[in-house]
Each structure stands twice: as structure tokens, then as C-alpha cells.
Copies of this chain bind each other. A is one copy, B any other.
């Protein structure tokens, strides 16, 4: 069996890292030879999770073709969010819970995407379908990913299956998901030690929208003001980043995870698309978005729709 690499998207969040670990474990049990790796440095939240469940940090790779012929993707499918040389690799498996776009193969493959809150929820189903037991620490990682992606079920992306999976994984890992979950989320919001570059790249994804490259970054916090006290420096960092990477429009979604509201900071053009998407005027290049916590469900589709209109 030829070795394969398994990885989540660039700027990995907790699900991108631990879904790779869980899926790699499952595939190895099914007879494949895989290694979970990551496409970037880990967030504070992910480090907290791996430390808590005594799991080593994955190796970080820049390219894959120098090591393997074929790969498995988790928590993403769009090529621009994947490893830099994805077009030269054979993708044999995908597990995801996002929209599908900019993904193409020459050969049939195993592609499993479900409209649920977290890739680890889908992987939990696959463990069950294949009758493979989930070790306690892997269960803890998967539970953490679901809590992270659904903000402890506050995100509108949450489905009953995510809640069911969390409860089952909580039992296997012997961890109270409410107590642990809040600790974990707070661990991810220690922003004071981070540079502006780290804040805008920690959890950021690029999207092609009608020919424009739109970058949407998200920062979770328990104090919006703490972030916006640094607004001028954030804008400078975003402008520099956009210039280097040719982003047309950069959106920084700052989400208060305690009251489930967000403030959106917009840099670049066309800004009017953002106003159209949310039917609201920008004030000092910012928009208040009460109740918005999900980039995937409450920001990207709305933008895509107005860009394609």
C-alpha cells in the first residue's frame, strides 16, 4: 500500500487538524497507510486541544508531491484552500461539510460531504458505519472540533447530528463537553499575545467570486473592543497582506463567542458588494452583524450571491 498524506485546509482551525488525525486513524484501521499532516501552524485553541488529550502536533508541510502521489482531504475541497501543489496530486478521498467549488478530478474517488456543522461529525458517522472503535483521545479531539466549529452549538450550522456526535464522543472520552468546551473556546481567544499578521491569518480562507479573490478571515473573542482598539494596525496588516497575495477584497469577521454577534471590517474593493450582501451601509468600513457567527453559512453564500448576480 502506497503511503498517503491526509490534511485539512491552509490556516488550519481545530477541525482541519483533528479531522485529519481522526480520518487518518480510520483509514489506517481500514488497511491504508496514511499520515495526518497540517498545512500551517496551529492556533492556540488547537494547541490547547492536542495538549489536553495528549496528542502530538502534526508535521507541517508546504508541498506534498515531493513525498506522495495521492492525498486525502478533510474539511475543505476548494483547491485554493489546499496544499500548493494539489493540482499535481491524485485525490482519493474527501470528507467535508462545506460548499463544493474549484474541485476537479480525472478519476472517480470517495467524496463524502454532508450539510452538518463539522467534518468530524461526518467522520464519527464513518467510524460507526465501518464498525471501528474510536479511541478515547481521538474521541476527545473530534468532540473538540465539533464544539469549535459550532461554538458549542450556538452557530446556525449546528445540526441534531452534531449534538448527537458530541454527546457520544463526550462519553467515549469521558469529558464533560460543556465545561471543557467553554475552557477550550476561551483558550482560543487569547488575542493579546498575537501580532496583527497572526490575527488576520489565523483562520482565513480565500474564495473566487466572479473573478475576484475574496479573503474572509475570522477571529473569535470574548471582547470585541479589545480587537478594535487595534483597528488601524489591523487595516495596515490587511493592506500589506492583500498586496502580497493579490486579494481584491478582505473581510475580517470578529465574532464575540459569548453573545454570538460579529463586527465585520472591510478592506479593498468592491466594498459595495458587502453592503449589498448584508443590505446595510458600511460605517467607517465596518458593519455590525448581530447573530452572525458562521462564515460558511452567514457570510460566504451571501457574498457569492451578490457577486454572481
**Chain A residues proximal to chain B, CB less than 8 Å:** 92, 97-115, 125, 129, 157, 296-297, 300-301, 304-305, 308
Contacts and interface: CB of A to CB of B under 8 A. Distances in A.
Contacts of A100: 100, 103-105, 109, 111
A115 B109 contact: yes
A108 B102 CA distance: 14
Number of copies: 2
Nearest to A110: B114
A109 B113 contact: yes
Contacts of A125: 129
Nearest to A112: B112
Contacts of A112: 111-113
3 tightest A-B CB contacts, nearest first: A111-B113, A101-B104, A108-B115
A8 to B, nearest CB: 16
B107 A301 contact: yes
B110 A113 contact: yes
A299 to B, nearest CB: 12
Contact of A296 (B104, B108, B296): B108
22 contacts: A97-B108, A98-B108, A99-B104, A99-B107, A99-B109, A100-B100, A100-B103, A100-B104, A100-B105, A100-B109, A100-B111, A101-B104, A106-B300, A106-B301, A107-B115, A107-B297, A108-B296, A108-B297, A110-B113, A110-B114, A112-B112, A112-B113
